[in-house]
Chains A and B, each alone.
Chain A
Amino acid sequence: MTSLQGFLVLSALLFCVGLGAVLTRRNVILALIGVELMLNAANLNFIAFARLGPHPNAMEGWMFVVFSIAVAAAEAAVGLALVIAIYRRLRTAHLDQMDSLKG
């Protein structure tokens, strides 16, 4: 097993952990943490392919990750602000009680 495969397996596990957190945890904040884990699994894939891929000196992978981290930070800020607003309104942070989008 090459190191790239190890990284990919790690990132797949990380993604699965994040997905499991998003699908199972009822708390919004834990679900958000899951989302972050999934994002970082993707970032890990980018880094692994950039470092261990055929063009180790190309900068595109790195740039993607930097952007992704910035976007993740903004997303976390917006997500947490939404969580606070929803908590203020519904007095709850549980996902299964937030069903006002029901059709």
Chain B
Amino acid sequence: MSPIVSWLWLVPALPLAAAAVLCFLPDRLRRFALPLAGGAMGLGFLLSCAALSEAARSPSAAGVHNFLWLEFGGSPLMLGWILDPLSAAMLAMVTFVGFWIFVFSAGYMAHDPHYVRFFCFLSLFASAMLGVVMANSLLLLFMCWEVMGLASYLLIGFWFHKPSAAAAAKKAFITTRIGDIGFLLGMVWLYGESGTLLFYDQGAGCLETSAIARMAGHAAGAGMMASTGISLLLFAGAVGKSGQIPLHVWLPDAMEGPTPVSALIHAATMVAAGVFLMARVYPIASALPPPPPVAQVASVASAPNAATPDAPAPAASHPSSLPSSSHEASVSAPTSVRSTPLPALCLRVMAWVGALTALFAALTAVAQTDIKRILAYSTVSQLGFMFLGLATGGVAVGMFHLLTHAFFKALLFLGAGSVIHGCHDEQDIRAMGGLRRWMPTTFVAYAIGMMALAGVPLFFSGFWSKDEILHAAALWSPSKWPFIIGVAAAFLTAFYMTRQMVYVYAGEYRGAGRGADGGGSMDPHESPSLMTIPLGALAACAILLSVLGTPVWPWFHAFLSGHAPRFEPSISLGVLVVMFLSVVLTAGGIGLGLSIYARAPSASLADEDPLEAWRPGLWQILRNRFYIDELYESSFIAWHAALGRFSAWLDDKVLGAAVESVRLAALGLAWAARLCDEFAVNLGFDEACDCLRQAAGRISRFHDGQAQRYLRFLALALSALAFWILWK
């Protein structure tokens, strides 16, 4: 184990320390906020680069560092971190993108009174994300995952004085919590099945072959294996975090946060954590039940026997412990038993959810007018692509799209932030237009991001990663529909990005006179260099990253799979067909967008969209996001409100009545006690006292202080005594 592994904890610890210091930094020292937070991220990036080179040197040997956290009775609770190609690539991406977004934020948030707080939250978030990425324990991953959720909540609601932002923060938090319940249950189940939450622990971890074989062989009821149930529950958590159907509703609303937050959290990194989680637990998700012995075909009861060491499952017999290689084993080996084995159930669910989300979100994005909302739906759609790639093509396919998407989506969001900043906080694309002349740097960077997202061939990273996903989906055996849906979504992606580009950058500026006060120049302006330099850096990456994943030299694929990359000059026919198809799609989408929007650019704000004029009904549905929010509003939320009202009624009328009756009983008892006290005890006592007092008064009349009267009594008594003595 190289020294870099034992020092890897510094990568998340540095931003955490920065967040802690920023907590206490007074506002007058705000100029130190960026050096502190950005410096921590920069150092983290350097460390991650070292880790990446280490992982690239020996990609098949994962470096693991476990430590004891707690001990419950006799069972130790271990946490740990891991350096494998997956975590190394993610660490480098998160620190790099994060660093540039921090720099951009310094420009974007320069005038915000809560500048220091913003950097504090950003650092906290970055620390949690890095913790998720390098965690070697599902528990540690979950803890960082939740901290990330908290940071997301804090940052979406950063401008909490806006009711919409506060509501969006709440919505995001609650919606993701719904998925997290699944995550938590899956984690508990996983612990029950494997007895450990460590991923890799020298053969004893829960992602290693023996545990996987045990879980895949253990029937959990309803025709499912334990591994299927666990991975489906974990997938629920990923669905919540990554904004997939049906928990996608929070992500577009999360755009209420400051734009750098949208770029960092709700486009590049945090929402990708769900995809990363599924990539991390891919061995569980893809585990197939061991093939039953020939004599007992279709006998479920024989499955546990088949998992014994005498008849090891094909997936379990593979010596490697790396996720992607065990995946390959599980996909390739069963073919010898059955001719067309179905992939694991979880993967099939993932593929369908991903494909449907990709199409649904792309359709919705077509009809939005808020620049950030379009990008948000585009993010949802691309996350769907990632899940599709993960499910059909394996870890490398999904993760490559995750990485390329992180760069170009961060670029697009920062570009949108620059546009919003330049247009005086205007977010409606109908009120922009012609910005190409006003903001040339932003335009170039944005165009690069847009072409990467749309999948313009050859030079842009998005083309290669999306192409890989489509290719994998095309080869998927259970169904061709995810592929067809993905193709449609890819076409729509090119179309809505073209629409946005035309609206924002072409034609004449339509926002004049929309400013509130009109004092000073309301013309758009180019952003300061603090904001354009990050755009340039990310744009360069959006282009350069494409060399890592071409079919000719699939370095990234090989890196994640743990073998040396090979140069393959000859591309198979299937790849070429899909590539040609995606070029046609992109060209078609962009061409259609241009022909609809660029031929007659709308001249004023009130112009209706050409699509609206063409099909008003369809447009309304798309514009209102398929009424999903309204559906939830009228179903789940209404049910919960009804349940709440019922509970309130129950509380008020039933429980309240019970409490009230107890109160009344106590009150009555107290009255009775009081009456008894007042009329029985007190009266008797008073009477006795009065008697005593009157008696005393009568007696005291004799004692009137007249000494001579006393003496008279004395003399009387004396004479009586004398008579008595004399006459006795």
Interface residues of A (CB under 8 A from B): 19, 22-24, 26, 31, 95-96, 98-103
Contact = CB atoms under 8 A, between A and B. Distances in A.
22 contacts: A19-B715, A22-B711, A23-B708, A23-B712, A23-B715, A24-B708, A26-B708, A95-B706, A95-B708, A96-B706, A96-B708, A99-B704, A99-B705, A100-B705, A101-B703, A101-B705, A102-B700, A102-B703, A102-B704, A102-B705, A103-B700, A103-B704
Pick the most buried of B703, B704, B707: most chain A CB atoms within 10 A of its CB. B707
A18 B711 CA distance: 12
Contacts of B707: 95, 98
A81 B708 CA distance: 19
A22 B706 contact: no
Nearest to A31: B708
Interface in B668-715: 700, 703-708, 711-712, 715
A24 B706 CA distance: 12
A37 B711 CA distance: 15
A66 to B, nearest CB: 26
Nearest to A24: B708
Contact of A98 (B700, B703, B705, B712): B705
A82 to B, nearest CB: 11
A31 B706 CA distance: 13
Nearest to B718: A19
Contacts of A99: 704-706
Contacts of A100: 705
Contacts of A19: 715
A41 to B, nearest CB: 13
A101 B703 CA distance: 8
Nearest to B704: A102
Contacts of B703: 101-103
A95 B708 CA distance: 7
* Chain B facing A: main interface SS: helix
Contacts of A22: 708, 711
A23 B716 CA distance: 11
Interface of B: 700, 703-708, 711-712, 715
Contacts of A102: 700, 703-705
A23 B712 CA distance: 6
Pick the most buried of B700, B703, B708: most chain A CB atoms within 10 A of its CB. B708
Contacts of A24: 708
Contacts of A101: 703, 705
Nearest to A96: B706
Contacts of B704: 99, 102-103
A102 B699 CA distance: 12
Nearest to B696: A103
B707 to A, nearest CB: 5
Q: Closest 7 CB pairs between A and B?
A: A99-B705, A102-B705, A103-B703, A103-B700, A101-B705, A102-B704, A95-B708
B698 to A, nearest CB: 11
Contacts of B706: 95-96, 99
Nearest to B710: A101
Nearest to A28: B707
B671 to A, nearest CB: 43
A102 B711 CA distance: 15
A95 B706 CA distance: 7
A45 B381 CA distance: 139
Nearest to A19: B715
A73 to B, nearest CB: 22
Nearest to B708: A95
A34 to B, nearest CB: 10
Nearest to B697: A103
A98 B711 CA distance: 14
A92 B700 CA distance: 25
A22 B714 CA distance: 11
Nearest to A101: B705
B195 to A, nearest CB: 93
A24 B708 CA distance: 8
A103 B700 CA distance: 6
Nearest to A20: B715
B725 to A, nearest CB: 14
Contacts of B715: 19, 23
A14 to B, nearest CB: 15
Contacts of A23: 708, 711-712, 715
Contacts of B705: 98-103
A101 B700 CA distance: 11
A96 B705 CA distance: 8
Nearest to B719: A19
Nearest to A26: B708
Contacts of B712: 23
Given A23-B708, A95-B708, A102-B705, 14 more contacts: A22-B708, A23-B711, A23-B715, A24-B708, A26-B708, A31-B708, A95-B706, A95-B707, A96-B706, A99-B706, A101-B703, A103-B703, A103-B704, A103-B705
A19 B718 CA distance: 11
A75 to B, nearest CB: 15
B178 to A, nearest CB: 88
Contacts of A103: 700, 703-705
A22 B718 CA distance: 14
A99 B705 CA distance: 4
A99 to B, nearest CB: 3
Nearest to A99: B705
A103 B703 CA distance: 6
A95 B700 CA distance: 19
A100 B705 CA distance: 6
A96 B708 CA distance: 8
Contacts of A31: 708
B555 to A, nearest CB: 118
A33 B503 CA distance: 135
Nearest to A102: B705
A84 B603 CA distance: 125
A103 B478 CA distance: 116
A73 B705 CA distance: 26
A95 B703 CA distance: 14
A23 B711 CA distance: 7
A96 B706 CA distance: 6
Contacts of A98: 705, 707
A100 B703 CA distance: 10
B549 to A, nearest CB: 116
Contacts of B708: 22-24, 26, 31, 95-96
A1 B715 CA distance: 28
A24 B707 CA distance: 11
A100 B704 CA distance: 8
A95 B704 CA distance: 12
B409 to A, nearest CB: 104
A44 to B, nearest CB: 17
A99 B706 CA distance: 6
Contacts of A95: 706-708
Nearest to B707: A95
